[in-house]
Structure 1
């Protein structure tokens, strides 16, 4: 009888089991992804695929705008564009975090806004990822501590590598406040283009801001020396591999190990020395200002 009464109650109220706007968005997104995959399998022209993808992204952007409403964060525009790069799994930008991106220019600060519910769904899909290279924890706190989260969520053509975490005073009302200094690149080694990344979770609102470090992060001689030494060692292994008639894979692997260790050691050196540099207080202040603005101050 419990099931019968549940059905009757649902029919009477008409709202108990109604799909939420987030449910509708996810259903529309997945339907579009399936439709585009079917078109690709049928060898439809690229122009047809692109047109279908653009139309679907416009529809999804409108749905997200309704869910999120206008943005009210200082120095960012009120209206954003969809964060998804593509709805085709053959394209760069497929599978990014569902949300809107706000920016005044391509090379300035940007902010991706979403909801806690959409973020949790996205992380759950990443937690079930078969390829461990793309797997992320379902827990928000744990995910924010991983560089892979930022690589997959808010960028599509480069990997994010953190330099060090920046301490924040949690803004009033915020559930989570996290900041990291790092940069996007397609290769390892020193990256002068450092960004201050700040994430604020407040109620159902989630915002991830990225802004060029101001002032720029300086070179640190001791850390540059760490990388130079590692790079030189890796180059020798690479030369040995190229000179080998049989292309000795041992030398090739050793070169990659040397580069990866050198990159990790370089970043550890930066994390150790940067807090003593004159620019560091300004970087902390930049992160705190971003956090406060995102929290509504």
Structure 2
């Protein structure tokens, strides 16, 4: 009888501690990252590294597809490709959010889908990072309100900069629904090709949609004037920059400060004035429709 109970206990324990599909995915991902890092340290040829990276990403994509199942969001394909762009820490696109990206084209709308568990693990890794400027809060609702979340989660070679937050009606069944208007940039100043970005959390699923603003975000003269004036001031400082002595460094710093203030003033102006523009209701409707569709409407 004691043997029977021992066997039953061992069986129950093995079930209780069995790795979940998400655990298996994370283990496979980390193993692939370590393998690529070791090969890089051994000066393996680039072609071999690329092949290793491609094969590992394909395996991880298959694992994520099994975890997530088909996507069921209107106007989006059912199958996706892995959101990670590289497993090499030396490459652009390393460390993005673990999930699948669904899109009909590279230029059109896309959705990155993942689970709450994978998102929580990813946020924890960003909270523990060595680089303070890249750290994120571990709470998902708090993280979704930050530009840095979208920059690191779904961007690769540019930063997401918010113009404004939309006031959404949270769809039925959604736990969180956040929508923002903004754009991707590598510099300060106006961003004319803006995106509507919507995040919906429903149960175990986290969905982040990105679509070109429709209609395009209009130029607002008062905001353009703020940036033009700031740019002119910065250019004057920059003209005095000659080299690396203290005076030149001060000119360089003053130019950057003028650009950064101009950028901040411009975005604040757009956030204040755009809701009164005739184009705004359509932009809000676009964000709401994305949120509704992701929530299952």
Match of 2:154 in 1: 154
**Unaligned stretches of 5+ residues in structure 1:** none
- TM-score, L = length of structure 2: 0.96
Match of 1:170 in 2: 170
**Unaligned stretches of 5+ residues in structure 2:** none
Three-state SS of the structure 1 residue aligned to 2:240 is helix
Superposition deviation, residue 9 in structure 1: 2.6
Q: CA RMSD in A?
A: 1.6
Q: 1:116 to 1:234 in 2, by over 3 A?
A: same
Structure 1 residues 176-191: aligned runs within 5 Å: 176-191=176-191
Superposition deviation, residue 157 in structure 1: 1.1
**Alpha-carbon distance in 2 for matches of 1:76, 1:109:** 8
Match of 2:226 in 1: 226
Match of 2:89 in 1: 89
Tell me which moved more, 126-135 or 87-96. Answer: 126-135
Match of 1:121 in 2: 121
**Alpha-carbon distance in 1 for matches of 2:242, 2:132:** 31
Three-state SS of the structure 2 residue aligned to 1:200 is strand
Superimposed CA distance per residue, residues 66-111 of structure 1 (whole angstroms, 9 cap, x where no aligned partner): 0000001011111000000100001000000000000111110011
Superposition deviation, residue 244 in structure 1: 7.8
**Alpha-carbon distance in 2 for matches of 1:244, 1:64:** 51
Match of 2:71 in 1: 71
**Alpha-carbon distance in 1 for matches of 2:223, 2:112:** 32
Q: 1:183 to 1:6 in 2, by over 3 A?
A: farther
Q: 1:31 to 1:258 in 2, by over 3 A?
A: same
Q: Does 1:260 align with 2:260?
A: yes
Tell me which moved more, 120-129 or 242-251. Answer: 242-251
CA contact 1:108–1:212 (8 Å) conserved in 2: yes
Superposition deviation, residue 247 in structure 1: 6.3
Three-state SS of the structure 1 residue aligned to 2:16 is coil
Superposition deviation, residue 241 in structure 1: 1.3
Superposition deviation, residue 267 in structure 1: 0.2
Q: 1:223 to 1:7 in 2, by over 3 A?
A: farther
Superposition deviation, residue 13 in structure 1: 5.6
**Alpha-carbon distance in 1 for matches of 2:245, 2:154:** 43
**Alpha-carbon distance in 2 for matches of 1:86, 1:240:** 42
Structure 1 residues 10-159: aligned runs within 5 Å: 10-12=10-12, 14-159=14-159
Superimposed CA distance per residue, residues 119-171 of structure 1 (whole angstroms, 9 cap, x where no aligned partner): 00000000111111111111111111110110100010111000000011001
Q: 1:241 to 1:56 in 2, by over 3 A?
A: same
Match of 2:197 in 1: 197
CA contact 1:194–1:217 (8 Å) conserved in 2: yes
Match of 2:239 in 1: 239
- TM-score, L = length of structure 1: 0.96
**Alpha-carbon distance in 2 for matches of 1:154, 1:84:** 9
Structure 1 residues 278-289: aligned runs within 5 Å: 278-289=278-289
